[in-house]
């Protein structure tokens, strides 16, 4: 077994990971616009002692909204409501480095971190979607490497801003009329290739020091960003061998940045369809699949591959496709690898993807799900998973009530929270302010 404790997040994809999830009898079609839905899912996750809930985000309409529910509300605002209704569950929100400014993101997540008592995490992503680009007044999508060059500097600025207050900068002494020790609040004076930020931040540090930085990306540029800046990574792997190879590569890259290779929590995506028997689980999968129009699935696949749907013939294998310059490289490469490995036709690939899911899908009983999770952890292919239940909240309820107890009995998963912050859950150290280190060094000189 891995030396690391198993970590489990739930990737809260509106009504569930399947495009048809909103159509099931137990689902609420308006759930994606209802903050109460997100609160309910988070409370179930907290009951199961999961590490965090994870919200993706796309600042544009990029899906077929005539058919599918979608991510629409701004994640940090949703998670502020969730924070008020929970006590322990971590709160990870996605915010793009492509269409934001470092100061705003640093302030927004520091505020969420304070509001939640130290439970916030920032999923730093780049955005390659042309629709989103036009929403921010840009005619073209930034080139892949340029997006990641900006993202790396963006994260450096955000981290410096989170460090700009030392832990004991706030005084609040009524007798001496001293509110803040300004000698412990530092400008960052950043001047780089892409950003010029004076600082300091106007928000002090939280109980966990600063929000956890999460990254989601599997390209070489994405891995370098994760190796340099991330504390947890949401990745894609369809096989244990792929997971092991990714973990080894990422940890080796981290070492080149002077970081401990095992200091990053690696969390592949895992979609689950659970039944009391394997046959029941497969029937549920069939029902969800049959409710997805084939033209919708084909359009999503074409979008991932950045091709015209007309070139994808349902009963033939994928044609040879070059890696698009500005696509989501992680999803493109994972999808093509899945198709080639199984010599799948396009129709078979669509089913294997759950109609456009992209991440690994496991269908089976609670025991089979637990066996799979244990095998990945023992092999060093994952430190845990970003869970994507088929339908929300019911799919998560089944996982919490039937899979979590098995993992607990095997000694793989916590029976209770050991702390109250997201860093506590992930087993990550509380970082000191870099400015406090400088002050200590100056004092001893």
Is residue 242 within 8 Å of 228, Cβ to Cβ?
Answer: no
At 1 the pLDDT is: 34
Is residue 111 within 8 Å of 206, Cβ to Cβ?
Answer: no
Query: Does the predicted model carry a pTM greater than 0.85?
Result: yes
Confidence of residue 356 (pLDDT cuts 50, 70, 90): low
Mean pLDDT for the stretch of residues 331-343: 84
Q: How many CA atoms lie less than 13 Å away from 221 in the CB half-sphere?
A: 17
**Do 210 and 347 belong together in one domain?**
no
**Do 129 and 218 belong together in one domain?**
yes
Nearest to 121 by CA among 328, 265, 268: 265
Higher pLDDT among residues 358 and 406, named by residue: 406
**Do 58 and 153 belong together in one domain?**
yes
Asked which of 208-212, 239-243, 300-304, 423-427 is least confident by mean pLDDT, the reply is 300-304
Confidence of residue 355 (pLDDT cuts 50, 70, 90): low
Mean pLDDT for the stretch of residues 113-123: 98
At 440 the pLDDT is: 57
Is residue 252 within 8 Å of 342, Cβ to Cβ?
Answer: no
**Does residue 103 form part of some domain?**
yes
**Do 214 and 308 belong together in one domain?**
no
At 218 the pLDDT is: 79
Is residue 301 within 8 Å of 312, Cβ to Cβ?
Answer: yes
Mean pLDDT for the stretch of residues 101-125: 98
At 247 the pLDDT is: 96
With the CA atoms of 368, 370, 372 and 377 taken in that order, what torsion angle do they form, in degrees rounded to the nearest 10?
-170
At 195 the pLDDT is: 97
Task: Answer with the one of 301, 331, 353 that is the final residue of a domain.
Answer: 353
At 2 the pLDDT is: 40
For the cut 90, the answer to whether the pLDDT of residue 414 exceeds it is yes
**Do 56 and 72 belong together in one domain?**
yes
Mean pLDDT for the stretch of residues 265-291: 95
**Do 364 and 216 belong together in one domain?**
yes
Higher pLDDT among residues 110 and 63, named by residue: 110
Confidence of residue 353 (pLDDT cuts 50, 70, 90): confident
Q: How far apart are CA 280 and CA 390, in angstroms?
A: 14
**Does residue 401 form part of some domain?**
yes
Query: Cα–Cα distances in Å, from 269 out to 37, 139, 388, 418?
Result: 21, 32, 7, 24
Higher pLDDT among residues 367 and 331, named by residue: 367
The values of phi and psi at residue 15, to 5°, are: -85, -5
- Percent with pLDDT over 90 in the chain: 71
**Do 266 and 135 belong together in one domain?**
yes
Is residue 82 within 8 Å of 66, Cβ to Cβ?
Answer: no
For the cut 50, the answer to whether the pLDDT of residue 213 exceeds it is yes
For the cut 90, the answer to whether the pLDDT of residue 362 exceeds it is yes
- Mean pLDDT of all residues belonging to the chain: 92
**Do 300 and 419 belong together in one domain?**
no
Higher pLDDT among residues 333 and 329, named by residue: 333
**Do 300 and 407 belong together in one domain?**
no
Q: Which domain holds residue 308?
A: 293-353
The count of structural domains within the chain is 2
**Does residue 76 form part of some domain?**
yes
**Does residue 433 form part of some domain?**
no
Mean pLDDT for the stretch of residues 239-249: 95
**Do 225 and 268 belong together in one domain?**
yes
């Amino acid at each position: 077994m891995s030396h690391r404790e198993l970590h489990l997040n739930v990737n809260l994809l509106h009504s569930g990971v399947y495009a048809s999830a909103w159509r099931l009898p137990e689902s609420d079609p308006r759930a994606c616009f209802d903050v109460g839905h997100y609160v309910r899912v988070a409370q179930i996750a907290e009951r199961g002692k999961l590490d965090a809930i994870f919200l993706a985000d796309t600042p544009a309409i990029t899906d077929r909204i005539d058919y599918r529910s979608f991510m629409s509300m701004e994640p940090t605002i949703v998670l502020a409501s969730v924070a008020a209704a929970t006590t322990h569950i971590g709160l990870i929100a996605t915010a793009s480095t492509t269409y934001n400014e470092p100061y705003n993101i640093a302030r927004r997540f520091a505020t969420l971190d304070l509001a939640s008592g130290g439970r916030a995490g920032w999923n730093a992503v780049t955005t390659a979607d042309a629709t989103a680009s036009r929403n921010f007044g840009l005619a073209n999508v930034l080139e892949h490497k340029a997006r990641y060059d900006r993202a790396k500097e963006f994260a450096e600025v955000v981290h410096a801003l989170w460090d700009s207050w030392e832990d004991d900068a706030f005084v609040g002494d009524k007798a001496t009329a001293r509110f803040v020790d300004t000698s412990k609040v530092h400008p960052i004076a950043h001047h780089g290739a892409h950003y010029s930020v004076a600082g300091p931040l106007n928000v002090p540090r939280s109980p966990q020091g600063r929000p956890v930085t999460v990254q989601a990306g599997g390209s070489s540029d994405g891995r370098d960003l994760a190796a340099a800046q991330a504390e947890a990574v949401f990745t894609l792997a369809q096989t244990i061998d792929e997971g092991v190879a990714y973990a080894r590569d990422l940890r080796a890259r981290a070492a080149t940045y002077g970081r401990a290779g095992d200091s990053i929590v690696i969390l592949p995506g895992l979609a689950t369809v659970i039944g009391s028997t394997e046959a029941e689980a497969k029937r549920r999968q069939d029902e969800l699949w049959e409710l997805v129009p084939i033209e919708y699935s084909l359009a999503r696949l074409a979008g991932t591959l950045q091709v015209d749907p007309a070139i994808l013939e349902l009963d033939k294998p994928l044609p040879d496709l070059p890696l698009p310059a500005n696509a989501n490289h992680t999803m493109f490469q994972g999808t093509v690898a899945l198709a080639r490995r199984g010599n799948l036709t396009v129709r078979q690939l669509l089913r294997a993807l759950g109609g456009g899911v992209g991440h690994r899908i496991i269908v089976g009983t609670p025991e089979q799900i637990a066996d799979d999770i244990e095998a990945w952890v023992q092999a060093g292919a994952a430190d845990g998973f970003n869970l994507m239940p088929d339908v929300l909240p019911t799919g998560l309820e089944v996982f919490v009530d039937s899979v979590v107890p098995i993992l607990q009995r095997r000694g793989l998963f916590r029976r209770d929270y050991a702390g109250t912050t997201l860093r506590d859950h992930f087993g990550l150290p509380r970082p000191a302010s870099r400015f406090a280190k400088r002050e200590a060094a100056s004092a001893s000189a």
